[in-house]
Amino acid sequence: MLDRYSIKLIRNPLSSTAKRLDTFGIRANQITVGGFIVGCFALPALYYQQFELALIFILLNRIADGLDGALARIQGITDAGGFLDISLDFLFYSLIPFGFALANPEQNALASAFLIFAFIGTGSSFLAFAVMANKRGIENPIYKNKSLYYMNGLTEGTETIGCFVLFCLMPAHYSIIAYAFGFACWFTTFTRIYSGYQTLK
């Protein structure tokens, strides 16, 4: 829901940074993989309940996720790069609730399972429509520079980042936040399935 606005705010800083990285010969896929590796360090940080440290790794991962796209727009967007980016994104999204489940299995495991279940809904509906949209040549007027068709929804990337930040800042309330965000994700899933079906029909 907020991605269209947040993208406008971060576009210029990301573009200027990407131009500098390009002069050093750094490739977009290197940023994608490097950002994912850095983000994976959030898992042991969460396990040991070092939530502030985990937050740093989460934010670094998300910055890298913005930079790789900006760099790809300079160097040329490729299907391979888009595939790599979205695959690692969804793996990272599931890694965070899994980390909180490890941190406190008794209190967080069920909420984490519900949230990952909800992520399956948002992710599958998103990717399934992207495949069909590409097959039919349907273009998204809002996200024209993306390698995949991005369906709008109540919970998008900006909301997910905000949720992860809340997790780390208020770990004692993790379950409540996870359930609330999970229900919001399911609302996104159902609206995407309905609108996607009607569009393709």
Could you report the per-residue pLDDT of 77-118, keeping only the tens digit for each? 898 998 999 999 999 999 999 999 999 999 999 999 999 999
DSSP-assigned states of every residue in 73-140: HHH---HHHHHHHHHHHHHHHHHHHHHHHHH-HHHHHHHHHHHHHHHHHHHHHHHHHHHHHHHHT---
Could you report the per-residue pLDDT of 25-79, keeping only the tens digit for each? 999 999 999 999 999 999 999 999 999 999 999 999 999 999 999 999 999 989 8
Report the predicted TM-score, pTM, of the whole model to 2 decimal places.
Answer: 0.87
100 exposure class (CB count in 10 Å sphere: 0-12, 13-18, 19+): buried
pLDDT of residue 154: 78
Could you report the per-residue pLDDT of 158-180, keeping only the tens digit for each? 899 999 999 999 999 999 999 99
Contact 170, 129 (CB under 8 A): no
Closest by CA to 117, choosing from 192, 46, 41, 178, is 178
pLDDT of residue 46: 98
Give Cα 99 distance to the centre of its chain.
16
- How many CB atoms are located within 10 Å of the residue 19 CB? 12
pLDDT of residue 138: 74
Residues 4 and 66: their CA atoms lie apart, in Å, by 13
| Structural tokens at position 91 | 């793996």
pLDDT of residue 118: 96
Q: Where are the domains of the chain?
A: 8-200
Would you say domain 8-200 falls under CATH 1.20.120.1760? yes
Q: Does 144 score more than 60 pLDDT?
A: no
pLDDT of residue 149: 55
Give Cα 74 distance to the centre of its chain.
22
